[in-house]
Amino acid sequence: MKKILVANRGEIAIRVMRTAKKMGIKTIAVYSEVDRHAPHVKFADEAVCIGPAPSSESYLKGDKIIEVAKSLNADGIHPGYGFLSENADFAELCEKNDIIFIGPRSKAIKMMGDKLAAKDAVKDYNIPMVPGVDHAVTDPDEAIKIAREIGLPILIKAAAGGGGKGMRIVEKEKDIENQMKRAISEATSAFGDGSVFVEKYVTSPRHIEIQIMADTHGNYLHFFERECSVQRRHQKVVEEAPSVILTPELREKMGQAAIDVARSCDYVGAGTVEFLMDADLNFYFLEMNTRLQVEHPVSELISGVDLVELQINVARGEALKMKQEDLKINGHALELRVYAEDPMNDFLPSVGNLETYQLPVGEDIRVDNGFEEGMDIPIYYDPMLSKLITYGKTRNEAIQLMIKAIDNYHIKGVQTTLPFGRFVCEHEAFISGNFDTHFVKNYYSPSLLESKHKAEAEIAAKIALKQYLKDQKLLRLPN
């Protein structure tokens, strides 16, 4: 593989290109008109505009991307995450055009992309499942019957997608019909498929996921777990590896379960198997993401591997050189997704110009970044600016370094999740490890963040006044 096209934008495009360049592979960037001057365009060896700003007219145009790849003699296409990364038709289109899709085969993407098909595929491996049904439900009466069997609360969930869309938690039987209609409507709008299924809602859940890698020679590896329980609107904001609650025995059990999920669909490449864990440390299969995850850096830091490099090696037919026993957890890593969102206003997107944009630097601080000072935040895409990752020998070291890195990340012009990240890192529930996916609901409010800001500002003002008075006193002293 001498040249690859990266079918993405922002920080993930640059992340993939860095590894490709390290491996001596040329890179091609694709970009929309609004991204003409974006950093990923400058970073690549070649770059081609593929259409107007909306992703439906640019980054989601699979046929156009294939056309560019063929015209510039690309050997492979890396989809990053989002956009076409879990599009089975696009993976198939690459295969038909003799271009290597740096990801799983289309069959696995299709199977794991449908949550009901995924549940069906893994049932022969005795992987724990959340109580519920394994078929699409459209009749509210049937949903009520299921709820009576498995007990409330229940979760109504879109079969064809994720990201919190088409998902409803229902605590009372009288609300099932209305919430089901809303879930079906949202799922149809978001994924073009209104299929929903019903399962028991796990109270106080933790979101634990396992990073796996598989090659074409029948080798499967897992790179331990990530804790992704700090979320807003069912989407992750803070991730870490490893999890504070897993014992070595539980880690091994979950790792093997993740590998079995991968085996169930003849998986190839990097993937993530997601589990829910209840308060008694019982874990349940949730879904498989058939791509590189946003939070993959924390796994890289604790295991000492470059997952993108392994993806490329596997895609060109190489066997994984390491064995499971070679992999060991070393230290602790933390990631904060730096979104252009306002944590004081329900995390709504904050568009504007990056008047100031200065990244923190230092040992064990990594920033996977896609923006530069002076750039506007496009309204057309996910509002993530970068990922701030810190590493320490211990969890506490990683947390303290994250607080320091947040303080040295200077952004003006838009609101970001940086203050929220600091709030999380300083909260007793997070520090103790005693938290779940309800962290935001249970502990966070804009007024708490505001009062914290005020208290810090008052302390800073008192320190400054004390120093000023000290300086004045020194100036008045006779020579």
Residue among 75, 78, 83, 63 at smallest CA distance from 29? 78
422 φ, ψ to 5°? Answer: -65, -40
- pLDDT of 277: 96
Helix or strand run (H / E) with residue 473: helix 446-476
Mean pLDDT (10-residue bins), the chain, 479 residues = 97 98 98 98 98 97 98 98 96 97 97 90 91 88 94 91 81 94 90 89 94 98 98 93 97 98 97 95 95 98 98 98 97 98 95 97 98 96 97 98 98 97 97 96 90 67 75 70
- pLDDT of 476: 72
Tell me the pairing of strands 356-358 and 410-412.
antiparallel
- pLDDT of 479: 57
- State how far the Cα of 330 lies from the Cα of 335, in Å rounded to an integer: 16
Residue among 40, 11, 25 at smallest CA distance from 315? 25
* DSSP characters over 91-139: HHHHHHTT-EESS--HHHHHHHHSHHHHHHHHGGGT--B-SB-SS-B--
Helix 115-122 crosses helix 106-113 at what angle (to 10 degrees)? 100
Residue 310 near residue 269 (C-beta atoms within 8 A): no
Tell me the pairing of strands 46-51 and 76-78.
unpaired
Structure tokens at 289: 């993401």
Residue with tokens 């529930």: 429
175 contacts: CB under 8 Å, gap ≥ 6 = none
Structure tokens at 334: 């933390």
Residue among 232, 205, 428, 414 at smallest CA distance from 337? 232
DSSP-based three-state secondary structure for 227: strand
Q: Which of 9, 206, 226, 291 is catalytic?
A: 291
**First vs last Cα of the chain: how many Å apart?**
75
Torsion from C-alpha of 396, 401, 404, 410, nearest 10 degrees? -130
- pLDDT of 138: 87
- State how far the Cα of 81 lies from the Cα of 215, in Å rounded to an integer: 20
C-alpha dihedral sign at 276, 277, 282, 283? positive
- pLDDT of 270: 98
422 contacts: CB under 8 Å, gap ≥ 6 = 403, 406, 407
Residue 441, amino acid: K
Tell me the pairing of strands 76-78 and 3-6.
parallel
- pLDDT of 9: 98
pTM score: 0.90
Tell me the pairing of strands 332-339 and 100-101.
unpaired
Structure tokens at 396: 């506490």
In the residue annotation, 182 being an active-site residue is answered as: no
- State how far the Cα of 334 lies from the Cα of 389, in Å rounded to an integer: 6
State the CB neighbour count (10 A cutoff) for residue 178.
12
- State how far the Cα of 193 lies from the Cα of 191, in Å rounded to an integer: 5
- pLDDT of 457: 59
- pLDDT of 134: 79
305 contacts: CB under 8 Å, gap ≥ 6 = 223, 299, 322, 327
